[in-house]
Amino acid sequence: MAPTRRTRAARRNGRPPWWTIAVLVLASITLITLDYRGGLNGGIGGARRVAHDLFSPVQRGVDDLLRPVGSFLGGMVHAGSLSAQNTRLRQQLEQAQRQALAQRTAARTLQQLTDLEKLEGLPSLSTIPAVTAQVTALNSSQFADTVDLDRGTSSGIDVGMPVVGGAGLVGRVVDAWSNGCTVRLLTDTNSTVSVAFAVAGSTAQNLALVTGRGHGSPVEVDYVEPGTQLTRGTVLTTTGLQHDLFPPGIPVATVTSATSSASATQETVTAATTADLSQLQFVAVLQWQAQVIPAGSS
């Protein structure tokens, strides 16, 4: 049979005709099949090696071409699994965070109740009946700083009763109803508490007045005489003087700074409340009323 035009062109270009490639491919497949069946030996094994040498470049080229496609398809197959795994991990993390928050809340609650028990055990308070209540609302603004409690007149709570919590005085009941009451905190701008303190080297009781400056601000300490050796950390307690609004000996605040000038009429003193008013959860309302001065009395 005379060579075709394509065959002649392939010969001139030094490339084997297409049917030659087809024969080699078929022969390679046959050899590989026989090899897997264990039927190759001797010369046939050599032919197998030649076939592998001839077609390994083609195989590598096909692998390089198809590998990105395979990776893409594999990624598509595993995308759903990875998304589900990420969702599970997020859920586990959120659960762990909720558990940690619950543990911190429980620890804070236990600490507050423990501190409250110690506070109620003070000699000046141990004989005063108290109603334990839980804070239900925080009402803070630049004009007022109060909290609402879940106990009221049906539990024996009345307006004017002192409220303690944590490490000291919290405030005083200013409104009460059947199942709740409102407490004005020490930081409220309308709150004033007479306090007493001692200075190093003296047994005399010094008096001052603690005044609220608003939510989040330290309280002021007024009427401290110039030159008083008031140091940082000094504890201010309720005086318990006659007609005072609070029983004696309740911690109110701790001095944070004290300065004076030559012309000042009093020390400039700031203090932090001993009770953490921003973390209130449980408090005790003392069923104690200040002695009221009868009208017309001197």
Q: How far apart are CA 119 and CA 80, in angstroms?
A: 58
pLDDT at 68: 60
Average pLDDT for residues 280-295, to the nearest whole number?
78
- Strand pairing partners for 221? 210, 269
Tokens of 197: 């303190």
Closest by CA position to 119, among listed 134, 130, 103: 130
Quickly state the pLDDT bin for 298 (edges 50, 70, 90). Answer: very low
What was the pLDDT predicted at 204?
A: 76
Judged against a pLDDT cut of 90, whether residue 45 lies above it is answered with no
Give the mean model confidence (pLDDT) for residues 254-266. 87
* Predicted local distance difference test score (pLDDT) of residue 252: 95
- In this prediction, residues 234-256 reach a mean pLDDT of 90
Is the CA virtual torsion 237, 241, 244, 246 positive or negative? positive
pLDDT in tens, 136-156: 998 888 778 999 999 999 999
Which of the two residues, 232 and 204, has the higher pLDDT score?
232
The pLDDT value recorded for residue 191 is 94
Residues 262-281 have pLDDT tens digits of: 788 898 999 999 998 988 88
**Mean pLDDT, residues 193-205 taken together:** 84
CA distance 292 to 295: 9
> pLDDT of 56-109, one tens digit each?
555 555 455 545 655 555 555 566 677 777 777 777 777 777 676 666 656 666
- State the average pLDDT over residues 25-47: 56
* pLDDT-above-90 percentage for the chain: 35
CB 131 within 8 A of CB 151: yes
Report residue 240's pLDDT band, with 50, 70 and 90 as the boundaries: confident
pLDDT of residue 263: 80
Q: What is the mean pLDDT of residues 192-206?
A: 85
For residues 244 and 20, the model is more confident at 244
Dihedral angle over CA of 144, 149, 153, 155, nearest 10:
-150
Contact 146, 260 (CB under 8 A): no
At 62 the pLDDT is 47
Kindly give the residue spans of alpha helices, DSSP state H, lying in the chain: 5-12, 18-36, 42-120
CA distance 204 to 244: 19
Of 50-64, 116-130, 162-176, the poorest mean pLDDT is in 50-64
| Better-scored residue on pLDDT, 51 or 167 | 167
Q: Which residue has the higher pLDDT, 104 or 168?
A: 168
Lowest-confidence range among 55-59, 116-120, 169-173, 258-262?
A: 55-59
How far is the first Cα of the chain from the last one, in angstroms, to the nearest whole number?
Answer: 144
Segment 168-193 mean pLDDT: 95
User: Is the confidence at residue 123, as pLDDT, over 90?
Assistant: no
Q: Which one is predicted more confidently, 44 or 206?
A: 206
